[in-house]
Homo-oligomer: A and B are copies of this chain.
Amino acid sequence: MKRSVFFISDGTGITAETLGHSLLTQFDKVQFEAITIPYIDTLEKAKSTVAKINSCAKKEGQRPIIFSTLVNPKIRSLVEKSHGLFLDFFKTFLVSLEKELNIAPTPHVGRMHGLVDYKSYMMRIEAVNYALSHDDGLRPQNYDQSDLILVGVSRCGKTPTCLYLALQFGLFAANYPFTEDDINNANLPTGLLPYKSKLFGLSIDPKRLHLIRQERRPNSRYSSLEQCQLEVRKAEDFFKANKIPFLSTTTRSIEEIATSLIATLGIKRQLGDMEHH
């Protein structure tokens, strides 16, 4: 079973894709062929989109599924009339919100994912710069500026998580890789002591770690399964002994790791860019 899917937006299309994918994964017997058409912000572009949808419908002899976050009512009503199943992520809820709040919405297409606020843009950029310049144990003297510090063995997923935290939430995330000396010593390295409440541990299945390290340094002691098992066991013992909260990255996406540790550390969650679309 196959079905074509269109994600249509007057902005980036990221929201339509994200929510659409969550819904489509509920139908795992169907093979979906997805096309994202972003920045449909004129009637001309809307007409050409309708032509694409209709030609697809004709060719395949069935209705494509359309996930839309179109804000502009004129553009939306054009695309709504195409020969697809039009699922509208916007209007449905806007009507309910309007009733509840008892005020009319003021359409802001341009503001969606738009860079309105220099301060919020700079916050993300500065957070990315912080993650890069405090990666892999660099500059521990600046840990007082951090929102959190990830600790764990080499290649357990610290760097991508820090970068995600910076881009998605504007958080200042440093990371500190455990050396063998660190985990053989039962106590927290003295440099980390003042920041104990900011520490979060990442662990990983030793077999997965072995696979990942093999790709970097094949057949080394560093990548051997024995070494990975030893390091992971000692790191987890260390987390427990020092009461550092931790989770395993093995079965979690970067999004899950990031949101879980924010919740555990009790960090106030904010979007780096408040106006996604």
> Measuring CB to CB, which residues of chain A are less than 8 angstroms from any residue of chain B?
1, 3, 11-15, 17-19, 21-30, 36, 38-39, 63, 65, 69, 71, 85, 87, 89-90, 92-94, 96-97, 100-101, 103, 105-108, 111-115, 118, 121-122, 124-125, 128, 132, 157, 159-160, 163-164, 167-168, 208, 211-212, 249-256, 258-260, 263, 269, 271, 273-277
Contact among B101, B103, B157, B256 with A113 in the assembled complex (CB-CB below 8 Å): B256
Q: Is there an interface contact between A15 and B19, defined as CB atoms closer than 8 Å?
A: yes
Given known A-B contacts A23-B93, A39-B263, A115 and B277 have beta carbons under 8 A apart: no
Shortest beta-carbon distance from A88 to chain B in Å = 9
Shortest beta-carbon distance from A170 to chain B in Å = 11
For A30, give the chain B residue with the smallest CB separation. B101
Q: Is there an interface contact between A275 and B94, defined as CB atoms closer than 8 Å?
A: no
Q: Is there an interface contact between A89 and B259, defined as CB atoms closer than 8 Å?
A: no
Counting chain B CB atoms within 10 Å of each CB, the highest count among A26, A107, A112, A211 belongs to: A26
Number of copies: 2
Contacts of A85 in B (CB 8 A): 96-97, 100
The 10 closest A-B pairs by CB, nearest first: A26-B105, A12-B259, A18-B276, A22-B277, A128-B160, A12-B255, A113-B253, A113-B255, A115-B253, A85-B100
Contacts of A23 in B (CB 8 A): 90, 93-94, 97
Shortest beta-carbon distance from A156 to chain B in Å = 11
- A18-B19, A39-B259 known; 17 new pairs, CB 8 Å cut-off, are A12-B259, A14-B255, A15-B19, A19-B69, A21-B275, A23-B93, A26-B108, A27-B103, A28-B106, A39-B260, A65-B97, A65-B100, A113-B256, A124-B254, A125-B160, A128-B159, A163-B163
Q: Is there an interface contact between B275 and A25, defined as CB atoms closer than 8 Å?
A: yes
Q: Is there an interface contact between A14 and B259, defined as CB atoms closer than 8 Å?
A: yes
Contacts of A101 in B (CB 8 A): 1, 3, 27, 30
CA gap between A124 and B157 in the complex, in Å: 11
Contacts of A24 in B (CB 8 A): 97
